[in-house]
Amino acid sequence: MTTVEPVRTADPGPSSPTAAESSAGDPAAGVPLRGWLALVSVAVGTFAMVTAEQLPLGLLTPIGGAFDVSEGAAGLMVTVPGLVASAAAPLLPVLIRRTDRRTVLVGLLGLMAAANLLSVLAPSFTVLLASRLLVGISIGGFWALAAGIAVRMVPAAYVGRATAITFGGATAANVLGVPAGTLIGEFSSWRAAFATVGGLGLLVVAALLVLLPSLPATEPVRLGTLAAQFRNRAVRAGVLTTFLLVGGHFAAFTFVSPVLQDVSGIGQGMVGPLLLVFGAAGILGNFLAGGVVGRDVRRVVMAIGLLLAAVLGLFPLVGTNPVGGIALLIGWGLAFGGVPVSVQTWILRSAPREAEAATALNTSVFNLAIALGALFGGLVVNAASLTAALWTAAAIGLLTALTVWRVGRTAP
């Protein structure tokens, strides 16, 4: 997810800092080429992680057909890693304590690569779900560490640029990774798409082993610090907003491929290119929200909830042909593109002195919302229809706007 610049923390441990950390207080200090290459490698790792998490979204139909399971059941490939990642995000930083972050990061990327290769070889849907569980562990742990690594790699004057590079991989994954994986699945097979992501993960592991320096742990995160965030009313409101927006979105977006085919009458071969259009609209939505969220985060979040409600509610009515479906898909991308920067701004303003703990909590809820949204959407699809899932997601968007309106002064 998109983040704003995190708060810099000092390393109280006995280990010697890296060269970049030693010069962090000197704005004139430069960053060697190897340092920038290491950051780019982490960004490619971010790209691979987000692509691995969301890859099944465009492949539900062929995977369901291969294992003779319904599209609702196939949606568990999104639910399982989301649930696991929601637990791993806050717990893994506590469990690894002072382990070198370079070692942990490389291990998590290696686990993701192995999980995707297991998906390629999966003889049954049960084994495929087991591989997705491993993906969830790697995603949750990776997101908990990546931002801190970016900050520690460069002097203070370059922190913003380094963070943008690192998390630019997430945006690129939404725009290029998932659509590219979908296209690979359409032109070859869904197993080839998983193999490609796994191979990319192995390349990133090799790059990090060469380029990333040792990164001794800073002050370890404790469970008490995470639990304390629930006593902050503004953080609680922000976490609830994140859960509703993300959960509602994924209750419908998990099934975007069958929605475009069955509701809008668009051929399967066009799903990949249209997901690329969705991602491009998401980038624009991110920049539009980022330009105004600093003035009034509450109104921006309310507007996003209302726009999602309108787009998803109209889909079964106006999106019943290719033109209407594509137009609404673009509006959908614009709306959801503003979600990460908006909810992250809310969280950081609510807990400026405990930004790392509050962000870890919100990251956990973000992933939990992906999992439960996909699960709930799958239940609705199986019990009713794709149209019912769209209208349910629209109702959740409206509920989000009403919730933010009711919290009033609690918003930062």
The predicted pLDDT at position 291 comes to: 77
pLDDT for 13 beyond 60: no
Identical fold between 30-221 and 225-412: yes
The predicted pLDDT at position 7 comes to: 35
List of residues 6+ apart from 152 with CB closer than 8 A? 11, 17, 18, 20, 21, 24, 215, 218
Per the structure block, which two tokens stand in for 224?
A: 């008490």
Amino acid at 50: V
CA dihedral of 366, 169, 116, 242, whole degrees rounded to 10: 10
CB atoms within 10 A of CB 210: 11
Q: What is the pTM of this model?
A: 0.72
Q: What percent of the chain lies above the pLDDT cut of 70? A: 84
Contact yes or no for 355/7 (Cβ under 8 A): yes
Phi-psi region at 97: left, alpha or beta (left = phi > 0; alpha = psi -120 to 50): left
pLDDT for 197 beyond 80: yes
Q: Where along the chain do its domains lie?
A: 30-221, 225-412
pLDDT for 264 beyond 60: yes
Query: Buried b / exposed e across 374-386, counting CB within 10 Å, b at 16+?
Result: bbbbbebbeeeeb
pLDDT for 357 beyond 50: yes
Pick the CATH number of 225-412 from 3.20.10.10, 3.40.50.450, 1.20.1250.20, 2.60.40.1930: 1.20.1250.20
Give tens-digit pLDDT for 390-407: 999 999 999 999 999 887
Give tens-digit pLDDT for 103-121: 888 999 999 999 999 999 9
pLDDT band at 92 (very low <50, low <70, confident <90, very high): confident
Query: In terms of pLDDT, which residue wins out, 149 or 281?
Result: 281
The predicted pLDDT at position 248 comes to: 94
- Among candidates 138, 110, 132, which has minimal Cα distance to 119? 132
- Please tell me what DSSP assigns to residue 124: S
The predicted pLDDT at position 161 comes to: 65
Q: Which fold has domain 30-221?
A: Growth Hormone; Chain: A; (1.20.1250)
C-alpha count within 13 angstroms, C-beta hemisphere, residue 271: 31
Contact yes or no for 179/272 (Cβ under 8 A): yes
For the chain, how long is the longest CA-to-CA vector? 64
* Alpha helices in 97-232, H assignment, sequence order: 101-121, 125-152, 159-172, 178-187, 190-211, 223-228
pLDDT for 9 beyond 50: no
Q: What percent of the chain lies above the pLDDT cut of 90? A: 35
pLDDT for 25 beyond 50: no
List of residues 6+ apart from 411 with CB closer than 8 A? 234, 237, 297, 298, 301, 346, 404
